[in-house]
Structure 1
Amino acid sequence: MSERTELSLPDGVRLNVEAYGPEDAPLTVVLAHGWCQDRRTWKHQVAALRLLGARRPRVIVYDTRGHGRSGATGLGGATLGQLGEDLAEVLRRYAPRGPVVLGGHSMGGMTIMEFAHAYPGVFAERVAGLLFVSTTAEGHTHTQYGLPARIAALMRTGETIGAGLLARSGPWRPHRALLPALRPAVRWLLFGDDCDEEALDLAMRCFGRASLRSIGAFRPSIGAQQRLDTLAELGDVPATVLVGERDRLTPTACARSIAEALPCAELRVVPGAGHMLPLERPHDVSAALTAIVERATPAARCRIRRIASTLRKAA
C-alpha cells in the first residue's frame, strides 16, 4: 500500500507525494518524472522495487509543481532551478537521513542536476546512486526532433513562440478535450518503433493533467540548461544513463555527453525505443534501477569500499 501525502513548499505550492515501503529501510529511492507527465510514469519501476522483499528500499514518487495532482505554479516558479529546490524539500521531509538513490526521466533528470548544482555538499554526503533516463544536461543543443536541421530549427522557433503564449494562459487544461486529436502527434514525438497502447494511454492522461502554464512556462529553462560541469564534479557515484535509439527529444548524443561527464556512469542505448522509456521499455528501466539500488545499499557499499581498499594496497 502507498502513503499519499501533501508537501507544502515555502512558496505555498502543494506537492502530491506517494511513499512505498518501510520508513526504516536502509535506502530511499526518489523518482522525478518528466515534463507534462506525472508520478505514474514510474509505476512499473515502483512495482519492480517492491518485489525485492526484505531488501526493498523506501520509494518516493511525487508530482512536480503544475503537474498531476500537485498545485499550480506561478510563472516565477516554473524553472528547473525551482524544481531542484523542490527536490531538496522532498528529501528533507521524506528522506532526512541515510543514503538515497535518485532517478529522473527527462525533466526529472534535469531536476536532479539542478539539485546537485545547488547542494553539492548534501549531494556528496547523501546520494549513493543515480539513474538518468531520456534526459539531457545541454538544453536543446542536440534536439532535432528526428528532422533535418533546417526544419528542426523552424519547429523549435514555433515551439518557443507557442510556449510563451501558453505560459501566460494560466493553470487551465482545455487541451484535455483535444487529446484524441493530439494522440498521433504525441505518439510520434514520444515513442519509438513499437508503442504499447496502454503506455500511450497513460502518457496522454498525464499530458491532460498538465496545465497550459506548465506546458509553456518550463520550456525556456529546459532549453537553456547547461550542467555538464556539475556532473563532472559528482565523483564516484554509481550511475546508469539510459536513452532510446529513436528518442526525438533527448537523442543519444545527450546521453553520451552525460555518461562522459560522469566519472562512474554506464551508458545503455535501447534499440528501437523512443523518449518514454519508463513506460515504453519498463523492464529495461526497472532492471537498471534495481541494479543501482542493489549497489547502493549500505552493505554493498561497504563491500565495494573493502575491495577498493584491498586493490589499492596491492598496487
Structure 2
Amino acid sequence: MSERSALTLPDGVSLCVETWGPEDAQVTVVLLHGWCLSRRTWQHQIAALLNTADPPRIVAFDARGHGGSGPTRLGSATLGQLGDDLAEVLRQTAPAGPVVLAGHSMGGMTIMEYAHGHPEEFAQRVAGLLFVSTTAEGTAHTMYGLPPRLAALMRAGETFGAGVLARSGDWRPHRALIPALRLPLRWLLFGDDYEDAALRLTMRSVSRTTLRSIGGFRASIGEQQRLDTLARLGDVPAAVLVGDRDRLTPPPCAEGIAEALPGTELTVFPGAGHMLILERHAAVSAVLAGIVERAGASTRGDRQWRVKRARKAGRVEGQAA
C-alpha cells in the first residue's frame, strides 16, 4: 500500500507525492519521471524494490505541470526550478539519511540540476544514482534517428510548436486527440519490442500534462549543459542505462555522462528506445536494486560514511564558490 499526499512548494505549486515502504528504512529511493510523463512510469521498479528482502522507502512524485500535480507558471517551467523542487521534496519527505536518486529522461536532468544548485546537500545526502535515457548535453546528440537535414527540420518544427504550446495555458490535451498520438509516440519513444500496456500508460501520462509544460520545458531541456557538474560528484555509486534505438537521448548522451562521472557503469540495451523503464523494466529494476543494496551496505551503521559525506560536501561547496 502507498500513501499519497500533496506537498506545497515555496511558490505555491502543489505536487502529488506518493510513498511506499517502511519509514525507518536504511535508504530512501526517490524516483523522477520524464518530460510529459508521470510517476506511474516507474511502477515496475517500485514493485520490484518492495519485493526485495530489505525494501527501501520509496518516494515518487509528479513534477509541476505533470500528472496529478498543479500547473506551473511559464517562467518556472525550467530544469533549474525542477532541481529546486527536488531539494524541497527531499527536505519534506526524506529529511535525514542516505538517498538514492533515479531519473528517467527529464528526471535525470533534474538530478543534475539539484547537484548543480545544491552541491552541499547533494554531497551530504546522495548515496547512489541511476540515470536512465537522459543527457547532460541538451539536444546536442538528438537526431531523432534521422539524417542531419531531416533532423534539423524536425528540431525547428518542434521548437516552434513548443513555443506555441508554452503560451497555451494550463489546458491539457483534449481527450479526443490522444488516440492520434499513438503512432507518433510509438515511433519517437519506443524501440523494437514493447508491451501495448506501456504505450497506453505513456499516452495517458501525456494526456495529463499541461500544454504550458509540454512546450515550456523544451527550451531549458535543449540548453542544459551539466557535464562539469557530474565531473565534480566524485565516487557516488552510479549507473547509466540507454537503448540503442533511443531517438531522443541516444547512446552518445549516456557515454558522455559515464565519462564525466567516474566509476559509472554504462549499459546499452539493443533494440530498446527511450522508454527503457517500461521496455526493459526487469533489467532496469535489477540495476536499481543493486545500487540500493550498495548504498545500504556502505552506510549501514557506518559513522565514517557521514564523516566522508560531510568532508565531501565541504570540497564541493568550495568548488562551487
TM-score range, shorter chain: over 0.9
Residue number in structure 1 paired with 2:114: 115
The answer for the alignment partner of 2:44 in structure 1 is: 44
Matched-pair contact (CA < 8 Å) for 2:62–2:69: yes
Give how far 1:174 is off. 3.2
Offset, 1:67: 0.2
Q: Does 1:21 align with 2:32?
A: no
**Partner in structure 1 of residue 30 of structure 2:** 30
Tell me the distance in 2 between the aligned counterparts of 1:298 and 1:268. 23
Could you tell me whether the CA contact under 8 Å between 2:231 and 2:261 is conserved in 1? yes
| Number of residue pairs aligned between Structure 1 and Structure 2 | 304
CA–CA separation in structure 2 for the residues paired with 1:288 and 1:145? 27
Contact 1:32 1:109 in 2 (8 A): yes
Structure-2 residue corresponding to 1:199: 198
Q: Which amino acid aligns with 1:78?
A: A
SS in 1 for 2:64: coil
TM-score by length of 2: 0.93
Partner of 2:175: 176
- The structural deviation recorded for 1:230 is 0.0
Distance 1:174 1:300, change over 3 A: closer
Q: Give unmatched runs, 5+ long, in structure 2.
A: 306-321
Going from structure 1 to structure 2, the CA distance change for 1:302 and 1:36 (only over 3 Å counts) comes to: same
Consecutive unaligned residues in structure 1, runs of 5 or more: 307-315
Corresponding position of 2:146: 147
1:176, CA displacement in angstroms? 2.9
Q: Secondary structure at the match of 1:174?
A: coil
What do residues 73-118 of structure 1 show as CA deviations (whole Å, max 9, x unaligned)? Answer: 0101100000000000000001100000000000000000000001
Kindly provide the amino acid, as one letter, of the partner of residue 27 in structure 1: V
Any residues of structure 2 matched to 1:2-17 within 5 Å, and which?
2-17=2-17
3-state secondary structure, aligned to 2:100: strand
How far off its partner does 1:163 sit? 0.4
Q: Distance in 1 between matches of 2:15 and 2:263?
A: 32
1-structure distance, mates of 2:138, 2:159: 13
Aligned-partner Cα distance in 1 for 2:120–2:173: 43
TM (norm. structure 1) is 0.94
Asked if 2 retains the 8 angstrom alpha-carbon contact of 1:192 and 1:273, the reply is yes
Q: Give the deviation of 1:182 after TM superposition.
A: 1.4
Residue 165 of structure 2 is matched in structure 1 by 166
Sequence identity of aligned pairs in percent?
69
The answer as to whether partners of 1:179 and 1:208 remain within 8 angstroms in 2 is yes
Q: Do residues 234 (structure 1) and 233 (structure 2) align? A: yes
Q: Name the residue aligned to 2:257.
A: 258
- Output one character per residue of 1:167-226: Cα deviation in whole Å (capped at 9) or x when no partner: 000010134321111100100000000121010010000011011111000000000000
CA distance in 1, matches of 2:130, 2:96: 20
User: Residue type of the partner of 1:34?
Assistant: G
Q: Distance in 2 between matches of 1:301 and 1:176?
A: 49
Query: Residues 301, 263 of structure 1: CA spacing in aligned structure 2 closer, same or farther, 3 A cutoff?
Result: farther
Alignment RMSD, CA only?
1.3
Residue deviations 1:259-294 (CA, integer Å, cap 9, x gap): 000012000001100000111110111011000000
Tell me the equivalent position of 2:282: 283
Alignment of structure 1 residues 102-141 onto 2, 5 Å: 102-141=101-140
Q: Aligned to 1:52, what secondary structure does the other structure show?
A: coil
Inter-partner Cα distance in structure 1 for 2:196 and 2:89: 32
